[in-house]
Structure 1
């Protein structure tokens, strides 16, 4: 039986694992698309995304089109 205590909690926490799973399906995802798909609050989603970004797992791209837009993608 696998030792689930050894799983990296930074990635395997439910919210972050959900984000990583979505980012693996296509790239990039906008903040609004992630929020809608995951049904997370702004604060919860940004906290998880910042954690993943600090770990070097998620890249953040900021652009200005008609308005500022932030998108996220896996780094590898």
Structure 2
């Protein structure tokens, strides 16, 4: 995974800084956090589709009711 490799390189870079004694990278936590972010993105996309569908349904229903009111 490129994210893991990039983070490992970043940790190695931090380890070379002066006054840094130890750098610890928890890759399992990073993978869990990445999975959590992916789930969050999917939930947001699903809610967006749901709201878009609701907007279309409400718009068409409003137009239909207006046409029926004019015809009556």
Q: TM-score, normalised on structure 2?
A: 0.25
The structure with the greater share of residues assigned to strand is 1
Structure in which a larger fraction of residues adopt helix:
2
Q: Which has the higher contact order (CA 8 A, sep 6+)?
A: 1
User: TM-score, length-normalised on structure 1?
Assistant: 0.24
